Amino acid sequence: MADDKKQSRPDFSNVQSGSSSTAPSPAQDGGAGATYVVKPGDSLSKIARHHYGDAGQWHKIYEANKDRIHDPDHIEPGWTLRLP
Amino acid sequence: MRFDHRAAAVALCLTVAAFTGACQKNGTQTSSTSGTEGTTPSAQGVQVARVDLGTSLANDNTVATQTNTFLPNQTIYASVVTNGSAPSAELKTRFTYQDGQVVDESTRTIAPSGQAVTEFHVSKPDGFPVGKYKVEVFVNGTSAATKEFEVKST
């Protein structure tokens, strides 16, 4: 007899994550700091809230990714954004 | 006069070892933080001193409230303390669920000079499933530390 262990696998697709460091990023050498891969349903303010604890910091992400983001209200899932 | 081949072989090995550091069949030592061979020695000096888990952070990125048990709706912070200096070192965390499913992978490239504290955090709007989890920390792709934790409903 099988146990009732056959449960559906949990869905982790909406997990939000972020990071920060007391050490500087090597950005001045052309390197990258933290990056974030846009997930479905994300917005710049949502990402800012999770990474900086303040949705109002969305413009920092926008400024750091102006080469890719032309309209701050439009980001695509799968894009890798730099997080300054 | 008899020529002892075995003694000669040992002598030869010892001589070669003196020049190359070879002949270490036992107790081979490698640098735990070595990065990719042949590249710049960028992150060779960065080691993970410790990883703390908790529900909130202090201003210096250390964990303010340490715990290994979380509620489903709490944000889980992993504070990684590193020592050493490097012009570039990639820290990565991989959070996994008890069934091996990857919950999240995040990387952060840092240029530390001395001790640094880097925090990684994860949250799930609809709550993490109850169960056992693990966070593994990598420095330049090499596993450097692992910490287990649990999500409980109460």
- Selecting from B101, B104, B112 the residue whose C-beta is nearest the C-beta of A23 gives B112
Which of B76, B122, B132 should one mutate to test binding to chain A, selecting the residue with the greatest count of A CBs within 10 A?
B122
Give the residue among B69, B45, B67, B44 at the shortest CA–CA distance from B130: B69
**pLDDT score at B119:** 95
Q: Do A29 and B88 touch (CB under 8 A)?
A: yes
Which of A8, A9, A21, A43 should one mutate to test binding to chain B, selecting the residue with the greatest count of B CBs within 10 A?
A21
pLDDT at B26 over 70: no
Predicted-complex ipTM score: 0.70
- Selecting from B88, B91, B122 the residue whose C-beta is nearest the C-beta of A15 gives B122
Q: State the pTM of this model.
A: 0.61
Runs of H (alpha helix) within chain B: 5-20
CA dist A18 and B34 (Å) reads 26
Average pLDDT over residues A42-58: 84
Range from A47-61, B5-19, B53-67, B84-98 carrying the lowest mean pLDDT = B5-19
**A25 and B CB contact within 8 Å:** yes
Q: Of the ranges A15-19, A76-80, B145-149, which is most confident?
A: B145-149
The sign one gets for the Cα dihedral B17, B20, B21, B23 is negative
Per-residue pLDDT reduced to its tens digit, A8-39 = 889 998 998 889 999 988 754 444 467 788 88
CA dist B70 and A16 (Å) reads 16
Interface of A with B in 28-57 (CB under 8 A): 29, 31-35, 50
Residues 6 or more apart in contact with residue B148 via CB below 8 angstroms: B68, B132, B133, B134
End-to-end CA distance of chain A: 54
Chain A: residue whose CA lies nearest to B42? A26
By CB atoms closer than 10 A (0-12, 13-18, 19+), residue B11 is: exposed
Amino acid making up residue A57 = Q
Per-residue pLDDT reduced to its tens digit, B28-87 = 333 333 333 333 333 468 999 999 999 999 999 999 989 999 999 999 999 999 999 998
pLDDT: which is higher, A46 or B80: B80
